[in-house]
Structure 1
Amino acid sequence: MKRSPLWTLALAATVTLTSCGLVGKGDKKEKEEPNPFGATGIPPELRRKSGGADADAGTPVTAGGNQAGQKDKPMLQFTPDEDIVFTDPDAPDADIPELSNLLAAPKRGPWESSETIARQRSLREGKPMLIWFTDSQRSPMCKAVSQELFSTHEFGSWATEKLVRLKIDAVPDDNMLEKTASLDDKKTLELRMLAYTADLKKRYKIMGYPSLIMLNTSGEVVGRYRGYKRGEAQYLWGQLKHAEAVSHEAYKSWRKNLEKKNYREWQDRKGRTVFAKLTSYSK
């Protein structure tokens, strides 16, 4: 049986219409919203200023430009070479006057931070010097000996009467660093303080924390104590009392011999005393 040509043409037309409908449906695009920044998608203030349509694209931004009076100043301010003090390569152990003056400034608390000042006080007051080498931030036992002994009222009263105290901390003093004017000055001072601490550790052969050194008025070591265990505050205090007594007896003998040579104790209007011999005076 043969198909009619009419039926064949009708079937072909139906397939063609269906295919066109599918193609048209697939090509239909969703309605797009316009970009608020135009075709480029870049905000006007971020476009390059070129004098044409982008002439009003904005003003270049400079870091720190929002601070008044900072436009003409450099971002980093370095300390001039003439303001930097270096140690003497031929005498590395010599005192640095600028650092000594800074460390000699009035301090809070009973502990000195300058060995030079502590030595002068020890000689002038006739008291032995206790040096405490500590790491206040990283050593648990340094914190323990501070809480259990050095921070107590009883020890403080005894030490004020009997000793000159010097504290050498592995961590630079934040209060002293805050007095510096700029970040560069602060970093320079911090490095110098770390070098100062390292020099004292080497001189007194400090191998760990906490370490205590007791010196008599002549600068001789009369006691050396390393380490600490919780609960041993009274035992350590007893050792310090013994070293202080030994130093005091030696000082009394030394002073007695000088008194035979007309040495005596003098006091100024500020209450400061000195043991010396009068050689001359003027009216």
Structure 2
Amino acid sequence: MRWFRAYPVLSFLLLLPGCGIIGGGEDKPETAASPFGPGGVPQHLRAGGGSAIKPGGNTSPEVVKAIQNYNPDELVWTDPDDPDAELPELDGLLTAPKQKGPWWDSETEALRESKRTGKPLLIWFTDSVRSTACKSLSANLLTRSDFEAWASENTVRLVVDQSVKGKNIDDTTSKVLYSRDLKKKYNASGYPSLHVLAPSGEVIGRYKSYRSGQEDFLWGQLKQGVSLAQQRQKSWKASLEKKGYRDWSNESGRVIFAKLAAYKEGQIILVEPDGLRVRTHEKNLSAGDRVWIQQQKEKRGIR
């Protein structure tokens, strides 16, 4: 792996203007604006009952600071103390089994999945044992088949349960403290509380409290928040594409949004916006990605 220190041959490729995305597909044509706003949600479903949907306006202080200080050219590598440490294989990440059930329980993994898929993150803060409202919300909305179908298609879901149980006392204590830290980080007050985040990590909306009979009202608000998060994702992604990031995929079609960090004799290192590095060989990439690499090599006289 030490050759990567001496051969960042194509690390500059994506920084040049005019480098289009190969194999990434074309944008879908814009549809006519809905008379009910960007989320297609009637006004009576958007009034009250949660935080006002204002991109950036509901972002936690930690996320605001991270966004303001974000610089993809100053990345934290997978292991800063050992840059030559073995890196995970791209195919392993793209084909890794998903979480058990529809909800992730790791914020790190859920955020990464949100970035990779481009789907907004839906966080559910709950107390599944002591909160009657949480139990009611789960039964009346979150476990309904129509909601499951919508959420699977449009979001990545993360559950933060204050009543989580571990394998033993120490594990349970650790998980409870982890849940409390996330609740504080995202400024989640009370249970239940639902948050919608853009894949960039920006909090788009917070929706707290629930009463039986409000499930359609709440779902309408979630749809609006997800719609706005998708819009924010487009601008976030476009800003990183100017800095060299693009969609990469393997033959199975799974996509990773990353920048080429190093190349030598077909061996490749990619780096994601959060600093995670992965390695692969160009033969494992999609046909479109292989064509793109060949074009860049030809432009620079590299065989």
For normalisation by structure 1, the TM-score amounts to 0.55
CA drift at 1:277: 3.4
Distance in structure 2 (CA, Å) of the matches to 1:249 and 1:141: 31
In structure 2, the residue matched to 1:220 is: 202
Structure (1/2) with the larger strand percentage:
2
Q: Which amino acid aligns with 1:188?
A: D
CA drift at 1:158: 1.1
CA drift at 1:106: 5.7
Does the 8 A contact of 2:191 with 2:209 survive in 1? yes
Distance in structure 2 (CA, Å) of the matches to 1:217 and 1:107: 18
Which deviations, in whole Å up to 9, do the C-alpha atoms of 1:53-86 show, x marking residues without a partner? xxxxxxxxxxxxxxxxxxxxxxxxxxxxxxxxxx
Distance in structure 1 (CA, Å) of the matches to 2:132 and 2:201: 30
The alignment status of 1:200 with 2:192, answered yes or no, reads no
Distance in structure 1 (CA, Å) of the matches to 2:182 and 2:138: 21
1:66-105 to 2 correspondence within 5 Å?
Answer: none
Distance in structure 1 (CA, Å) of the matches to 2:223 and 2:261: 37
Q: Which runs of 5+ in 1 are unaligned?
A: 1-103, 181-185
The alignment status of 1:119 with 2:101, answered yes or no, reads no
Count of residue pairs brought into register by the alignment? 170
Tell me: CA distance 1:259–1:107, structure 2 relative to 1, closer, same or farther (3 Å): closer
3-state SS, counterpart of residue 104 of structure 2: coil
In structure 2, the residue matched to 1:140 is: 132
The alignment status of 1:241 with 2:223, answered yes or no, reads yes
Distance in structure 2 (CA, Å) of the matches to 1:279 and 1:105: 26
In structure 1, the residue matched to 2:102 is: 110
In structure 2, the residue matched to 1:18 is: none
CA drift at 1:260: 5.3
- Across the aligned residues of Structure 1 and Structure 2, the Cα RMSD in angstroms comes to 2.2
Distance in structure 2 (CA, Å) of the matches to 1:127 and 1:273: 12
In structure 1, the residue matched to 2:154 is: 162
Answer with 1 or 2: which has the greater Rg.
1
Tell me: CA distance 1:106–1:262, structure 2 relative to 1, closer, same or farther (3 Å): closer
The alignment status of 1:275 with 2:280, answered yes or no, reads no
Structure (1/2) with the larger helix percentage:
1
Distance in structure 1 (CA, Å) of the matches to 2:97 and 2:171: 15
Q: Which runs of 5+ in 2 are unaligned?
A: 1-95, 267-303
CA drift at 1:216: 1.1
Structure showing greater relative contact order (alpha-carbon pairs closer than 8 Å, 6 or more residues apart): 2
The alignment status of 1:128 with 2:110, answered yes or no, reads no
3-state SS, counterpart of residue 256 of structure 1: helix
Which deviations, in whole Å up to 9, do the C-alpha atoms of 1:148-204 show, x marking residues without a partner? 11101111111111111100111124xxx3xx4xxxxx1110111111111112212
Identity fraction in percent: 46
Which deviations, in whole Å up to 9, do the C-alpha atoms of 1:114-156 show, x marking residues without a partner? 1111111111111211110101111111111111111011111
In structure 2, the residue matched to 1:151 is: 143
Of residues 231, 254, 272, the one that matches 2:213 is 231
Does the 8 A contact of 2:200 with 2:236 survive in 1? no
Distance in structure 2 (CA, Å) of the matches to 1:187 and 1:231: 38
Which deviations, in whole Å up to 9, do the C-alpha atoms of 1:217-263 show, x marking residues without a partner? 22111100110011111111110111111111111223334445664
